[in-house]
């Protein structure tokens, strides 16, 4: 599903089918009419020093990525050829590519790394995957859904390690495909709810049949073991949202956002966030952009580390393991952001330890 300007400061979407949490068709930051419609008090900017540090770090990551690609391609008689298909020219993709390239270059001596930037072009993705098969590359590393889907269709028989795909369902069941998904296990999400909001036991989820009913079912099974009670409300269309929210008043202690194309959209963002504030029921968002808009906190991903995680999988395959022996994995590293303004409005105390560990604190 496409990225948007509000998510990463980049142009609004092309035909790319990628789906980072909080940056998809179900994202409240989709396009120019997303979360930025919310009141300015709920959408504070990031401190300039933090922003400039991120820009400098991003430039360094991109340089490191290109350096790794060049160095990896130097050996004339490389034992392994790895081709990296990058779905979009956007920062999360470059961060993942940098971690992936650096790890393979370190762990696989003589590996030749080549990169193909697809820039959201589906036809180019198919052509690149076909060419990889014709060229007899040893392994394809795909970054994003566009590249992954093209490789799965057109490059059967070549080991594929995928990243920046939402969940294992996007990888299909082909024995040559594995990778690292973007979704955290529900157990991880529930543990963080306990950590940030201790004592709050009743966790509500709004979902639609088009969304992630399997994830909701998994959460229902995991909640009792975490000492939590899950309140689920089915929302068939946006018209059902007001009544679903009203039914949670005085019942829910937390509203947990789960990626969903009906429930979490640009049109539903404002009523959900206003419900959270008016009823003092904290909303757990999908990404930093939701936190900027008024969610209390959100878990997020270290994209460079996801790339490194995929690089370790790729190295194992190049040493002789088959992809089917490496099941798809969730991100091993969790980062998070907190909106301190929202915490104050909801009269919620966030510990100094949590604030100190946050990637971004909105003040």
pLDDT at 33: 30
pTM of the model: 0.79
Predicted confidence at residue 9, as pLDDT, reads: 27
Among 299, 290, 331, 318, which Cα is nearest to 95's?
A: 331
Please give the domain boundaries of the chain with CATH numbers for all domains. Answer: 49-182+302-333 (3.40.50.2300), 184-300+335-362 (3.40.50.2300)
Per-residue model confidence (pLDDT) at position 260: 94
Query: Which residues of the chain are under the pLDDT cut of 50?
Result: 1-17, 24-52, 55, 67-78
What pLDDT score does 213 carry? Answer: 82
Contact 282, 350 (CB under 8 A): no
Alpha-carbon span 84 to 158, nearest angstrom: 13
The half-sphere exposure of 134 on its side-chain side, counting CA atoms within 13 A, is 6
Question: Which DSSP string do the residues of 22-80 spell out, in sequence order?
Answer: TBSTT-TT-GGGSGGGS-GGGS----HHHHHHHHHHHHHHHHHHHHHHHHHT--TT-SE
* pLDDT at position 51: 47
């Amino acid at each position: 599903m496409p990225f948007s300007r509000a998510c990463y400061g980049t142009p609004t979407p092309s035909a790319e089918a990628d789906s980072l949490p909080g940056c998809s068709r179900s994202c409240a930051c989709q396009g120019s009419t997303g979360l930025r419609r919310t009141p300015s008090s709920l959408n504070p900017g990031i401190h300039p020093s933090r922003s400039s540090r991120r820009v400098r770090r991003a430039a360094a990551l991109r340089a490191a990525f290109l350096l790794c690609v060049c160095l990896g391609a130097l050996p004339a008689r490389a034992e392994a050829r790895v081709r990296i298909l990058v779905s979009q020219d956007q920062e999360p993709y470059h961060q993942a590519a940098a971690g992936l390239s650096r790890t393979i270059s370190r762990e696989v001596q003589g590996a030749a790394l080549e990169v193909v930037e697809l820039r959201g072009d589906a036809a180019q993705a198919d052509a690149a995957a076909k060419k990889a098969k014709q060229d007899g590359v040893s392994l394809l590393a795909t970054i994003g859904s566009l590249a992954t889907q093209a490789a799965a269709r057109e490059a059967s028989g070549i080991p594929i390690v995928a990243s920046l795909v939402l969940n294992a369902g996007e990888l299909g069941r082909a024995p040559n495909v594995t990778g690292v998904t973007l979704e955290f296990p529900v157990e991880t999400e529930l543990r963080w709810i306990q950590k940030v909001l201790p004592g709050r036991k009743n966790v509500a989820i709004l979902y639609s049949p088009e969304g992630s009913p399997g994830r909701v079912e998994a959460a229902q099974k995991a909640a009792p073991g975490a000492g939590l009670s899950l309140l689920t409300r089915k929302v068939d269309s946006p018209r059902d949202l007001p009544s679903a929210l009203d039914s949670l008043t005085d019942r829910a202690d937390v509203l947990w956002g789960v990626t969903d194309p009906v429930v979490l959209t640009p049109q539903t963002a404002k009523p959900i966030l206003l419900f959270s504030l008016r009823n003092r029921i904290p909303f757990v968002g999908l990404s930093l952009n939701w936190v900027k808009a008024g969610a209390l906190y959100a878990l997020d991903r270290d994209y460079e580390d996801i790339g490194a995680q995929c690089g370790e999988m790729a190295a194992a395959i190049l040493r002789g393991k088959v992809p089917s022996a490496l099941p798809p994995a969730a991100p091993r590293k969790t980062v998070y952001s907190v909106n301190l303004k929202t915490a104050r409005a909801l009269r919620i105390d966030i510990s100094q330890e949590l604030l100190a560990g946050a990637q971004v604190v909105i003040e």
